[in-house]
Structure 1
Amino acid sequence: MTAPTPATIAANPLMARLAPGEATTDRIAWVKLSLAVLPLKTPISDAKVLTGRQKPLTEVAILFCEIESANGAFGHGFSYSKRAGGPGMFAHAKEIANNLIGEDPNDIARLWEKLCWAGASVGRSGLAVQAIAAMDIALWDMKARRANLPLAKLLGAHRDSVRAYNTSGGFLSSPIEEVLESCARLKDKGIGGVKIKVGQPDPMVDLARVEAVRKLLGDAFPVAVDANQQWDRPTAARVGRALEPMNLFWIEEPLDAYDAEGHARLAAALDTPIATGEMLTSVAEHFELIRNDSVDFIQPDAGRVGGITQFLKIMALADFKGLKMAPHFAMEIHLHLCAAYPREPWVEHFDWLEPLFDETLEIRDGRMVVPNRPGLGFTISDQARAWTVATHEEGKRG
């Protein structure tokens, strides 16, 4: 395809955003944003609820982005917020989405910078980049669909399946009997590991719950715990030492997410690996953990750090440092990214988001299988449309 002429550009506003060249053969014509509210079957509590910092979780806000190009290429992505923040993400995305119209959808890194600087007055982390994440992921989905490849293969996969562990059955809002029943069921279904929540006011209750799970599943089955940032440094050290005989595959978020120094001291003192990172919302924040030797498992979340473009930067830093990886939540996205990470990672199995899509992911022999469908491999379901509370469109669909 030859470069557009000045007359063509004048007649077509879509062509005006980027100085044309021979390599530019398509433009973004239409962007649709949708805010959906996914209700949870039962309220969920972790240690943050027991300390009074948060209320039980009852719903998840989902920001969907759908993008279509002038040539008919399509992609969609999503980000999310638990408790507050969903309407704010949607509002910010509405303000900046028009910056995509007329741009080459292949220039994803440049477009991330453009969207970020369009809203830089409110920062380059947090809600601002979480709004960008849905658009960034949609562009990556489009690029993989255009190539007729699963996203993992577009990025360059190291494996076609990833070790999978489940979290959704181990919350503190569930009595230990329910946790044990869930763990047994998950093991029978072929899950590769389980994670249970800790961080109760009495650490002895935590230890008893972990001991019960370990006794049920056996010494070799992978078990992790997650304190959700609710321990101080002395408590994390004491409980961490008490947990050493449990052969856990990690202790997650033992300290405040921004305490890189505290995590580094704990990681050096314990044999049990330390994992954290899910609450951070920028590459720079993850770099603090990485450069300070704060973690054995880094846990970025593509929806929180700004999408796949930023996640790939964290992957490169983590691999250079020799870290293992276990992204947080959103397995529909993170499965592909885990498959492309050089070191054997874990992907977190949460079934909460399954009603949003027509397709589901398969777990076989303890591993989640990368689907052979193009892009992310998902279609937004009618149920997700029914849960939608707001929409916004820019441009015109062909």
Structure 2
Amino acid sequence: MLDRITSVTLSSVTLPLGAGISDAKVLTGRQRPMTEVAFLFAEITTEAGHEGVGFSYSKRAGGPAQFAHAREVAPDLIGEDPSDIGRLWTKLVWAGASVGRSGAATQALAAFDVALWDLKAKRAGLPLAKLLGAHRDSVRCYNTSGGFLHESVEQVRDNATRTLESGVGGIKIKVGQPDHAEDLRRVRAVREHIGDAVPLMVDANQQWDRPTAMRVGRALEEFGLVWIEEPLDAYDAEGHAALAGALDTAIASGEMLTSVAEHAELIRHGAVDVLQPDAPRIGGITQFLKLAALAEHRHLQLAPHFAMEIHVHLAAAYPLEPWVEHFDWLYPLFPERLEIRDGRMHLSDRPGLGVTLSEQAREWTVARETVGTSR
């Protein structure tokens, strides 16, 4: 049955974090500690009464820019058939073509795109993963939010204990400090604490140069890491390729890239063993699916970054066994919870993404605008 979009409601929501969050970019002086995350939510309704919700986000600067761009292009969705998701993505990207096909512009479009996929799955009465064609009902998961550098190594170890007891399967900690010996000390302490059997990853957040990455990467080999993440600048495909060729430990990257084309460069150079795309950052689910096809063709592992509420579905639909990143930061935004046990994140039977906006999210809304007319 043909349906039409009647309204789009945009909300800019500021999520406060409990403490200033620091990774290596803070310790090297490139950024300030992070105290909040800006979310862009899009709620789309149709003539037939169907609804979809999607979101994008920005850490530190960029949230107002995403909201402003989304507000400008949202009218182009009114009257359209919500099933034509690919065509609508193209229509919206051309509506803002002068500001490009990556960055804040396409991150704004991601909120619409995710909402349209949520709506489509709800119309089918299926979880999004099932609509896409799931390969599994649960996905391996690892935690990042307990491994930041503003906390002492003793606190990171305690966090790891609680995380593993909660059912999460792996632990990732931050490295990339100016003192490389301190990085190695923290990794050794955590590895000894959790044991050799627990999957352990590290993330340097782009803070090493090529010689340092090679030297520290070799020193990290003894810890049996699942991967070393972002050892170099995100756009240094050749440098990542050299590391991937020289080290036994897998190299992971991709979260800071904001288009399929940028990820394709990593793939073309053989720069990563583990690709880490972020659906909200690259323009949504439509773009993520294009990238996933490229990654599968090259037999790459997949570990989507952040936004587990979206990525658990996309990872479940990836043919090769993936990972999903567990972050508890977003818990206040949604009343629903993903089931996590035995080291895996399990799909719910709720249709679509399986999440709704909480009252707390409504209270944290700093800007809101509706285009079109509600039923």
TM-score (normalizing by structure 2): 0.99
Aligned to 2:188: 211
Give 3-state SS (helix, strand or coil) of 1:274's partner: strand
Q: Distance in 1 between matches of 2:166 and 2:333?
A: 22
| Letter of the 1:384 counterpart | A
1:165 to 125, 142, 152: 142
Secondary structure, counterpart of 1:64 in structure 2? strand
Quote the residue 2:354 is aligned against.
Answer: 377
Instruction: Note if 1:193 corresponds to 2:170.
Output: yes
- C-alpha distance in 2 between matches for 1:211 and 1:188: 21
1:86 counterpart residue number: 63
- Mapping of 1:28-39 within 5 angstroms? 28-39=5-16
Note the C-alpha offset of 1:362: 1.1
Shift of 1:291: 1.1
| Residue in structure 1 matching 2:250, options 261, 270, 273 | 273
**What is the CA-CA distance between 1:184 and the residue it aligns to?**
1.1
Q: For residues 37-71 of structure 1, what are the alpha-carbon distances to aligned partners after superposition, in whole Å with 9 as ceiling and x for unaligned?
A: 00001110000001111100000000000000111
Per-residue Cα deviation, 1:304-343 (whole angstroms, up to 9, x for no partner) = 0000000000100000000000000000000000000000
The answer for the alignment partner of 1:334 in structure 2 is 311
Alpha-carbon separation, structure 2, partners of 1:45 and 1:353: 18
Residue 225 of structure 1 is matched in structure 2 by 202
Give the 3-state SS of the residue equivalent to 1:145 in structure 2. helix
Corresponding residue of 1:182: 159
Residue 349 (structure 1) aligned to one of 304, 313, 326: 326
The equivalent of 1:102 in structure 2 is: 79
Letter in 2 for 1:131: A
Looking at structure 2, the residues matched to 259 and 252 of structure 1 have their Cα atoms a distance apart, in angstroms, of 13
Matches within 5 A, 1:7-46: 25-46=2-23
Structure 2 unaligned spans of 5+? none
| Distance in 2, Cα, partners of 1:351 & 1:244 | 29
Mark the runs of 5 or more structure 1 residues left unpaired by the alignment: 2-24
Summarize the alignment of residues 145-156 of structure 1 with structure 2, pairs less than 5 Å apart: 145-156=122-133
User: Match for residue 370 of structure 2?
Assistant: 393
* Partner of residue 255 from structure 1, selected from 229, 232, 237: 232
Task: For 1:105-144, list aligned pairs within 5 A.
Answer: 105-144=82-121
Greater CA drift, 184-193 or 211-220: 184-193
Superposed displacement of residue 191, structure 1? 1.1
Aligned to 1:264: 241
Q: Which residue of 1 is the match for residue 299 of structure 2?
A: 322
Question: Can you list the C-alpha shifts for 1:150-203, whole angstroms capped at 9, x where unaligned?
Answer: 000000000000000000000000001100100111112221100000011110
| Alpha-carbon distance between aligned partners in 2 of 1:370 and 1:274, rounded to the nearest angstrom | 28
* 1:21 corresponds to: none
Task: Name the amino acid aligned to 1:315.
Answer: A
Give the secondary structure class of the aligned counterpart of 2:226: coil
- Number of aligned residues: 375
Secondary structure at 1:262's aligned position in 2? helix
Q: Secondary structure at the match of 2:37?
A: strand
Structure showing greater radius of gyration is 1
Shift of 1:223: 0.2
Distance in 1 separating the partners of 2:317 and 2:179: 40
Percent identity of equivalent pairs: 70
Q: Distance in 2 between matches of 1:26 and 1:323?
A: 38
Q: Which amino acid aligns with 1:293?
A: G
Which of 367, 376, 394 lines up with 2:344 in the alignment? 367
Q: What TM-score results when the alignment is normalised by the length of structure 1?
A: 0.94
Q: Quick one: which amino acid aligns to residue 194 of structure 1? A: I
